[in-house]
C-alpha cells in the first residue's frame, strides 16, 4: 500500500511511519518540521519505500501532489497543545481546522478511499460522567478541543457527501519514545522524566490529584493500523482504559528512575481538563483494538529511551 503520514516527523507520526515502512508499505511523510523533528525520521532517510515532503498541511497544492495515488492518509499533523491554543487560537484554527479540511479535500481530489485522523479526548471537557463514551455531548474547554471537534465534523460531512471513509481517533494521554520534553507546552510524562533525570523535582500544575488515562505510542500506532485495515468509520476513543493521578505518576517514575524529589506544585493552567477516563469498547467492537502495553512497562521503556539520549 501507499500511505501518507501528515505530521510524520512528530512524536506519534514518526512511530507510525516507522511501523508502516517495517511492514513493507510505501510511506510519504509530510511535515513542515515546526514541531516535528528531522532526527525522528533520520533512520528512514535512506529507506527505499519512504519519501519525505517538507511542507505544511495548510498548503493545499502540496498536499494534493503528495496524495496522488495514495491508498490511505494517516492525518497526525496538528498544533497539539491546549496552552498554546489558549495563547494563540487563530494559529490553532488555521492548522487544525484548515489543515484537516485540506487533507480531506486532497483525499477527495486524489480519490483516496480512507483517512484515519488524530482527534483528542479534550473534546469531552470536564463532563463529570466517567468513563467517557463517544456518544456523550462535546464540552470543549479550549480552542484546541474546538479545533479537533470541527475536524471530526468535517470528517463526517466528507464521508456523507463524498464517500471517503473517515476515522477519527480520540487519543487520551499518549506517551513514549520521541515525545519532545523541551517545548513550553510539552506533555506531562516527558517533562517529569527529563526533570527527574536532571535531578530536579517534577512540576505539577494543580494539586496533583487530577487524573489521566495514559496509553503508549506503540498501542496508538496499532490502533491507527487496525482502523485503516478494517471497515470502520466514525469516532473512537483510544486509551488505556484506566486512570492514574499525577501524584501517583510522579511516584511511579521516582521508583523507576531511582530519583526521589517532592513535586513542586504550581497553579492550574486554564483549559486543562481535571480528570480523564475512557470507555474503549467501541474501538474493540469496530476493529478489535485493546491496549497491550501496561503503564509501568511503557514508562520503563520511555525512561530508558530518555536515559539513552533519545536514541
pLDDT of residue 183: 72
Residue 185 belongs to some domain of the structure: no
pLDDT of residue 185: 66
pLDDT of residue 270: 87
pLDDT of residue 286: 98
pLDDT of residue 202: 97
Q: Which domain holds residue 143?
A: 2-175+216-241+277-291
**What spatial distance separates the first Cα and last Cα of the chain, rounded to whole Å?**
28
Among residues 30, 119, 19, the alpha carbon closest in space to that of 67 is found at 30
Spell out the residues 6+ positions from residue 205 whose beta carbon is closer than 8 angstroms to its own.
265, 266, 267, 268, 269, 272
Residue 32 belongs to some domain of the structure: yes
Residue 74 belongs to some domain of the structure: yes
The DSSP bridge partners found for residue 135 are none
pLDDT of residue 51: 98
Among residues 21, 85, 32, the alpha carbon closest in space to that of 63 is found at 32
Q: How far apart are CA 194 and CA 267, in angstroms?
A: 21
Instruction: Give the total number of structural domains in the chain.
Output: 1
> Would you say the C-alpha torsion 37, 42, 44, 45 has a positive or negative sign?
positive
**How many C-beta atoms lie closer than 10 Å to residue 200's C-beta?**
12
Q: Up-side HSE of residue 57: CA atoms within 13 Å toward CB?
A: 34
Residue with cell 523535582: 201
Residue 152 belongs to some domain of the structure: yes
pLDDT of residue 252: 98
Instruction: Per-residue pLDDT tens, the chain, 311 aa: give them.
Output: 999 999 999 999 999 999 999 999 999 999 999 999 999 999 999 999 999 999 999 999 999 999 999 999 999 999 999 999 999 999 999 999 999 999 999 999 999 999 999 999 999 998 899 999 999 999 999 999 999 999 999 999 999 999 999 999 999 999 999 998 887 667 899 999 999 999 999 999 999 999 999 999 999 999 999 999 999 999 999 999 999 999 999 999 999 999 999 999 999 988 888 999 999 999 999 999 999 999 999 999 999 999 998 76
Residue 154 belongs to some domain of the structure: yes
Residue numbers annotated as active site? 144
Residue 68 belongs to some domain of the structure: yes
Q: What is the DSSP string of the chain?
A: -EEEEETTTSHHHHHHHHHHHHTT-EEEEEE-SSSS-GGGSGGGTT-TTEEEEE--TT-HHHHHHHHTT-SEEEE--S---HHHHHH-HHHHIIIIIIHHHHHHHHHHHHT--EEEEEEEGGGGTT---SSB-TTSPP---SHHHHHHHHHHHHHHHHHHHH--EEEEEEE-EEE-TT----STT--HHHHHHHHHHTT-PPEEESSS--EE-EEEHHHHHHHHHHHHHSS--EEEEES-S--EEHHHHHHHHHHHHT---PPEEEPPPTT--S---B--HHHHHHH-----S-HHHHHHHHHHHHHTT--
Residue 307 belongs to some domain of the structure: no
Residues in the chain: 311
Q: CATH code at 234?
A: 3.40.50.720
Residue 211 belongs to some domain of the structure: no
Among residues 224, 220, 238, the alpha carbon closest in space to that of 132 is found at 238
Angle at 14 between CA 236 and CA 287, to 5 degrees: 25
> What are the CA-CA distances from residue 114 to residues 58, 74, 95, 266, 286 (Å)?
20, 9, 21, 43, 15
Amino acid at each position: 500500500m501507499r500511505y501518507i503520514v501528515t505530521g510524520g516527523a512528530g512524536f506519534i507520526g514518526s512511530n507510525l511511519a516507522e511501523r508502516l515502512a517495517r511492514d513493507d508499505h510505501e510511506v510519504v511523510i509530510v511535515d513542515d518540521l515546526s514541531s516535528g523533528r528531522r532526527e525522528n525520521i533520520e533512520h528512514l532517510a535512506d529507506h527505499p519505500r519512504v519519501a519525505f515532503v517538507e511542507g505544511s498541511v495548510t498548503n493545499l497544492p502540496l498536499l494534493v501532489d503528495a496524495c496522488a495515488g495514495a491508498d490511505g492518509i494517516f492525518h497526525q499533523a496538528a498544533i497539539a497543545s491546549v496552552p498554546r491554543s489558549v495563547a494563540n487560537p487563530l494559529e490553532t484554527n488555521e492548522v487544525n481546522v484548515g489543515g484537516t479540511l485540506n487533507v480531506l479535500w486532497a483525499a477527495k481530489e486524489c480519490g483516496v478511499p480512507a483517512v484515519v485522523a488524530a482527534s483528542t479526548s479534550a473534546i469531552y471537557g470536564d463532563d463529570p460522567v466517567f468513563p467517557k463514551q463517544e456518544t456523550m455531548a462535546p464540552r470543549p474547554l479550549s480552542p484546541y478541543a474546538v479545533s479537533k471537534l470541527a475536524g471530526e465534523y468535517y470528517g463526517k460531512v466528507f464521508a456523507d457527501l463524498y464517500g471517503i471513509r473517515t476515522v477519527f481517533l480520540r487519543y487520551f494521554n499518549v506517551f513514549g519514545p520521541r515525545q519532545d520534553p523541551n517545548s513550553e507546552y510539552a506533555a506531562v510524562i516527558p517533562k517529569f522524566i527529563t526533570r527527574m533525570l536532571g535531578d530536579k523535582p517534577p512540576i505539577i500544575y494543580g494539586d496533583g490529584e487530577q487524573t489521566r488515562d495514559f496509553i503508549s505510542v506503540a498501542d496508538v500506532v496499532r490502533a491507527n493500523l487496525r482502523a485503516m485495515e478494517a471497515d470502520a468509520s466514525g469516532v473512537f476513543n483510544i486509551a488505556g482504559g484506566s486512570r492514574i493521578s499525577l501524584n501517583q505518576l510522579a511516584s511511579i517514575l521516582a521508583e523507576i528512575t531511582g530519583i526521589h524529589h517532592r513535586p513542586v506544585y504550581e497553579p492550574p493552567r486554564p483549559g486543562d481538563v481535571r480528570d480523564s477516563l475512557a470507555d474503549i469498547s467501541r474501538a474493540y467492537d469496530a476493529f478489535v483494538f485493546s491496549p497491550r502495553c501496561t503503564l509501568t512497562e511503557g514508562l520503563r521503556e520511555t525512561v530508558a529511551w530518555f536515559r539513552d539520549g533519545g536514541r
